Chain A
Amino acid sequence: MSGAAAAMRAGEPSRAAAHRGLLAWVASVDHKQIGVMYMLSALLFFGIGGFEALLIRVQLAVPNNHFLGPDTFNQIFTMHGTTMIFLVVMPMLAGMSIYAVPLMIGARDVAFPRLNALSFWLQLFGGFLLYFSFLAGGAPNAGWFSYAPLSEPTFSISNGVTYWVLALTCLGIGSIAGGINMIVTIVTLRVSGQTIRRLPLFVWMTLVNSFLIIMALPVLNGALVMLLADRLLNAHIFSPAFGGSALLWQHYFWGFGHPEVYIMILPAFGIISEVIPVFSGKPIYGYEFVAASTVAIAFLSFTVWAHHMFAVGMGHVFELFFVFTSMSIAVPTGIKIFNWSATLYHGRIRFTTSMMFALGFIVMFTIGGLTGVSFAVAPIDWQLTDTYYLVAHFHYVLFGGSALAIFAGLYYWFPKMTGRMLNERIGRWHFWLTIVGLNLTFFVQHPLGMMGMPRRVYTYPDLPGWMILNMISTIGAFILLASVLMFLWNIVSSLSSGAPAGDNPWDAWTLEWATSSPPPPENFALVPPVHGRRPLWDLKYPDRADELVAAGEG
């Protein structure tokens, strides 16, 4: 993509001395370059996954449509889900952490730079491996959670699911290596003075998230190798017809799958916890509560997996347990919403594009959170599971939540990465088109689901009200396409003609803003002293420094 080449030139001018051109990127072990490559690969797959979403919406725009056949439709929604989760949201958030965390803790690089490069290349080629399936006889077609026995060779004849298994194993190993790298970096490479209670919240969230990754991804990998045995060695672990257990796959998959939901949202919480205080001109309200509630979410996330399986019929005791744990996750999450809102209160708010995306996040994520709580009630789940109400729910969480936070973060850190500001006027268009498109696309799916429209059907009969709601949803999807094109245009045009950013365009206070934009290969000539949570604020306003205020002297 043309943005990639431009970002290469703008991102690292001083690297040209060592290697030139593409080799400077392929051979790189620099966390900034690897972080940018993660984000670019996520953008590439975002384009592909978005195209698949549009195919789905075109097919569903009118009843009894035959634009895509059922086989193709199965492949497309499987690839859309798998792509957006594993090749877009995870690498995008990983890239942001890899780029920003070493800068935010005043480090030269991550703890293991070569391992970092390995993680990225496993990620990229894992993605290629997944898409190679299209050329090798058909893409995976059993949905992003590949429920057995549909994913067994008896029912899924093409090699698609096998490619899905191999690609996800590849991605999983890369993610685990990345998680280990992040934890070791944060634990061992912090600049002196930056205690665990002074860590920027984005770093806190990355730390907790990395623990989730190293605990949850091996669960997926374990399940995957067993599915691979079924597919390639004629084993029957998940095949009920031969004495295996399809239910075991569900427990395994959601044992991974629910923590995975938080893997895709915790770093987003971190971005919001940086952006909102900076553009409110205030420190975050209740720092300890934001950090501690994240730890609580991480622990709880391993105890709720079977709420994806209420329809299986596990018996009342188990159901009650999972109802209770799932509902209790709303408490630490609600604490965060409260903290962000309280940070806004009495703040001097600057409505930058980044801030607007962060505010959009709070509202949209809350909608997705509320429908999520409704699903924790088992009888509601029995009624609505596998309908479009569920599709609406998780798109509010993943698009309204993770994606809006990612946009907030990209507008926030783009000046640091490139030395250029993104255009605020285009950014506003991008924001409003996103909000309108997102709500048109997904809000109508709530009533559609309540009316009984199942997910994953390639077409539907002309029932009263179904067509108009589906048509609205499809129109919304095309508005989202316009918003994404707006964003890409903003990136490309700002790389060449954006206003110079300077070191600290937002008047922010974490360490990454103390160095030049883009930072030199060694990151810092001199790391400022850290006596509190806002080192650059303390440096700028020594008479109002946080520690003085805390001590009652300010």
Chain B
Amino acid sequence: MPKAKLAVGLFILSEANFFALLIIAYVYFHAYPGPGPTAASALNPLRTGMFSIALFASSATMILGVRAYRARSHRATLAWLTATVVLGGLFLGGQALEYAGLYRRGVAVNRNLFATTFFTLTGFHGLHVFIGLVAIAIVAALSASGRLAGTEREADAIEAVGIYWHFVDAVWVGIFSIVYLWAWL
């Protein structure tokens, strides 16, 4: 088994536990978040859902980017990786807009337990998206610079970045369902 892919798999296992705790806290306080905003009153599932589609789509472009790299098509690799960064950036931009809107309406992290657990959960997810974007940007830049030799080991490393990216995506499926769709019900 390639080292990079195994390491990322183990890292994901570890990170899944980290997110599980943040999700448990959100669910734990869902019924009694204290006076103030709730998911139903503060969030806009439709708008966040639109930006979420960008993130989900970026998983597909990432798969295509890895496939292009394995096919030794450097131009296609660069194109798909760039598309992934743009889509991921779009999602982060959407999150920034959402946060700014919430903040304007007085929904800050210390407002009540909904706000605290919402911001810690989605904030740490956003941080993971950002780290993923940096990693993909590095891979894309390396690919553009022509420094990659096209070895199997490099392909595995790029795929490892991709696996991390799919994980970030999968976590968002969970968060979006629990935070936004639950609020809509």
Contacts and interface: CB of A to CB of B under 8 A. Distances in A.
A184 B113 contact: no
A221 B18 contact: yes
A181 B4 CA distance: 10
Given A184-B7, A187-B6, A222-B22, A215 B14 contact: yes
Nearest to B23: A222
Contact of B21 (A112, A223, A245): A223
Interface string A99-126: 0000000000001100000000000000
Contacts of A215: 13-14, 17
B25 A248 contact: yes
- Which interface residue of B11, B13, B21, B33 has the most chain A CB atoms within 10 A? B21
Given A218-B17, A222-B22, A244 B113 contact: yes
B103 to A, nearest CB: 13
Interface in B1-33: 1, 3, 6-7, 10-11, 13-15, 17-22, 25, 28-29, 32-33
B21 A180 contact: no
Contact of A245 (B10, B28, B112): B28
A180 B113 contact: no
Given A180-B11, A222-B18, A222-B21, A237 B113 contact: yes
Interface stretch (B83-91, B92-100, B116-124, B142-150): B116-124
B34 A248 contact: no
Interface in A79-136: 111-112
B110 interface: yes
B28 A248 contact: yes
A330 interface: no
B14 A222 contact: no
Contacts of A236: 34, 110, 113, 116
Given A214-B10, A229-B120, A243 B113 contact: yes
Interface in A175-233: 176, 179-181, 183-184, 187-188, 214-219, 221-223, 225-226, 229, 233
Interface string B113-140: 1001100100010000000000000000
B110 A233 contact: yes
B109 interface: yes
B58 to A, nearest CB: 25
Contact of A184 (B10, B22, B25): B10
Contact of A111 (B7, B25, B32): B7
Contacts of A225: 120, 124
A221 B127 CA distance: 15
A217 B11 CA distance: 12
Nearest to A242: B34
B110 A218 contact: no
Contacts, number: 91
B12 to A, nearest CB: 10
Given A184-B3, A215-B14, A245-B28, A226 B113 contact: no
Chain B interface helix/strand/loop/mixed: helix
Contact of B14 (A218, A235, A248): A218
A219 B113 CA distance: 20
A355 B17 CA distance: 39
Interface string B27-52: 01100111000000000000000000
A252 interface: yes
B117 A219 contact: no
A2 interface: no
A217 B14 contact: yes
A187 B6 CA distance: 9
Interface residues of B, number: 29
Contact of A235 (B7, B13, B116): B116
Contact of B112 (A221, A226, A243): A243
A154 interface: no
B109 A180 contact: no
A218 B124 CA distance: 13
A213 B64 CA distance: 34
A184 B116 contact: no
A237 B117 contact: yes
B109 A187 contact: no
Interface in A355-382: none
- Which interface residue of B10, B14, B32, B110 has the most chain A CB atoms within 10 A? B14
Nearest to A215: B17
Interface in A234-271: 234-237, 242-245, 248, 252
A216 B18 CA distance: 9
B124 A180 contact: no
Contacts of B6: 183-184, 187-188
Contacts of B120: 225-226, 229, 235
B1 A187 contact: yes
Interface string A47-67: 000000000000000000000
A180 B117 contact: no
A182 to B, nearest CB: 10
B32 A243 contact: yes
B113 A214 contact: no
A101 to B, nearest CB: 15
A221 B13 CA distance: 14
A393 B113 CA distance: 38
A223 B24 CA distance: 11
Contact of B10 (A180, A216, A219, A248): A180
B117 A188 contact: no
25 contacts: A111-B3, A111-B7, A112-B3, A179-B10, A187-B6, A214-B14, A215-B14, A218-B15, A218-B18, A218-B21, A222-B20, A225-B124, A233-B109, A234-B109, A234-B110, A236-B34, A236-B116, A237-B25, A237-B29, A237-B117, A242-B34, A243-B112, A244-B113, A245-B28, A245-B29
Given A236-B116, A243-B112, 7 more contacts: A188-B3, A218-B17, A229-B116, A234-B110, A237-B117, A243-B113, A248-B25
Report, nearest first, the 4 A-B pairs whose CB atoms are least far apart.
Answer: A222-B21, A234-B110, A218-B18, A235-B116
